[in-house]
Structure 1
Amino acid sequence: MTPPEPLRDVIARHGLQASKALGQNFILDRQLLARIAAIPGEIAGDTIYEVGPGPGGLTRALLDRGARVVAVERDPRFLPALAELGAEYPGMLEVIHADAMRIDEPALAGRGARVVSNLPYNVGTALLLRWLTADWPPWWQSLTLMFQKEVADRIVAPPGGGKFGRLSVLAQWRSHPSVAMQLSRSAFVPPPKVASSVVHIVPGNAPKDVAARSIEQVTEAAFGQRRKMLRSSLKSVPAALAALEPLGIDPQRRAETLAVADFVALARELG
Structure 2
Amino acid sequence: MSGIDELPPLREVIARHGLSARKALGQNFLLDLNLTAKIARQAGDLTQADVLEIGPGPGGLTRGLLASGARHVVAVEKDPRCLPALQEIAEAYPGRLTVLQGDALEVDAFAHLTPPVKIAANLPYNVGTELLIRWLTPETWPPRWQTLTLMFQREVAQRIVARPGDKAYGRLAILSQWRADPRIVMDLPPGAFTPPPKVSSAVVHIEALPEPRYPADPAVLSRVVAAAFNQRRKMLRASLRGLAPDIEDRLREAGIAPTDRAEQIEIERFCALARLLQAS
TM band (smaller chain) = over 0.9
Shift of 1:239: 7.6
Gaps (5+ residues) in structure 1? Answer: none
Tell me the residue number matched to 1:156. Answer: 161
CA RMSD of aligned residues (A): 1.6
Deviations 1:22-73 (A, max 9, x none): 1110100011111000002111131000000000010011111121100001
Counterpart amino acid of 1:86? A
Shift of 1:103: 2.4
Tell me the residue number matched to 1:258. Answer: 265
Match of 2:91, SS state, is helix
The change in CA–CA distance for 1:163 and 1:208 in structure 2 (over 3 A counts) is closer
Deviations 1:144-201 (A, max 9, x none): 0000000000100010121101101110011100001000010000000100000000
The CA distance in 2 between the partners of 1:251 and 1:153, in whole Å, is 27
Q: TM-score, normalised by structure 2?
A: 0.93
Gaps (5+ residues) in structure 2? Answer: none
Identity of aligned residues (%): 53
Match of 1:262, SS state, is helix
Q: Summarize the alignment of residues 73-152 of structure 1 with structure 2, pairs less than 5 Å apart.
A: 73-134=77-138, 135-152=140-157
The CA distance in 2 between the partners of 1:139 and 1:54, in whole Å, is 24
Worse-superposed segment, 54-63 or 204-213: 204-213
2:177 alignment partner, one of 164, 172, 177: 172
The change in CA–CA distance for 1:262 and 1:208 in structure 2 (over 3 A counts) is closer
The CA distance in 2 between the partners of 1:23 and 1:240, in whole Å, is 45
Tell me the residue number matched to 2:220. Answer: 214
Q: Does the 8 Å contact 1:116/1:145 carry over to 2?
A: yes
Worse-superposed segment, 89-98 or 234-243: 234-243
Shift of 1:270: 3.9
Shift of 1:248: 2.1
The CA distance in 2 between the partners of 1:223 and 1:207, in whole Å, is 21
Query: How many equivalent residue pairs?
Result: 271
Tell me the residue number matched to 1:21. Answer: 24
Tell me the residue number matched to 1:60. Answer: 63
Shift of 1:207: 4.6
2:49 alignment partner, one of 15, 34, 46: 46
Q: Does the 8 Å contact 1:240/1:267 carry over to 2?
A: no
Shift of 1:209: 4.6
Counterpart amino acid of 2:155? E
Shift of 1:112: 2.2
Counterpart amino acid of 1:19? R
The CA distance in 1 between the partners of 2:268 and 2:79, in whole Å, is 41
Match of 1:42, SS state, is coil
The change in CA–CA distance for 1:239 and 1:82 in structure 2 (over 3 A counts) is farther
Tell me the residue number matched to 2:193. Answer: 188
The change in CA–CA distance for 1:253 and 1:38 in structure 2 (over 3 A counts) is same
The CA distance in 2 between the partners of 1:189 and 1:20, in whole Å, is 11
Counterpart amino acid of 1:36? I
Q: TM-score, normalised by structure 1?
A: 0.96
Tell me the residue number matched to 1:71. Answer: 75
Counterpart amino acid of 1:116? A
